[in-house]
Amino acid sequence: MLDVMHNFGLSGTQQMYNAVIAAAPDWNSALEVFLGMQCAMVEPTVQTLNSTLTQAAGSGSMQPILDVLLAAGQCHASLTASTLAAVRRATTALGGDRQLAHVLSSLPSGLFK
């Protein structure tokens, strides 16, 4: 549905993107929707970030988590307490506090306002 809308120059609502990301069968599908959302200039919400981070944790790698945070920072999303909690859950699944520290230290300073 979103692909058809994008082909006609239309975009969905934040809620539509959030629902599709949350229901995505895998990380690559969630990423495609997240990037499509950015291309459509639809601002990600805290729910968008949390759902995308949850999907990123399923990738089995830390890089997707970092990529989501960098992309969120580039569109001036807020890094909230619930987003930090989602990052913590995602990194715990991949190795715990050491991984969390690695992700947070890899982010450029001032990325989030």
pTM: 0.75
- Predicted confidence at residue 25, as pLDDT, reads 92
**Is the sign of the CA dihedral 100, 36, 29, 44 positive or negative?**
positive
Residues 6+ apart with CB under 8 A from 15: none
Phi, psi of 26 (to 5 degrees): -160, 175
Residue ranges covered by each domain of the chain: 2-106
The pLDDT tens digits of the residues spanning 47-101 come to: 888 889 888 888 888 888 888 888 887 777 777 888 888 888 888 877 767 777 7
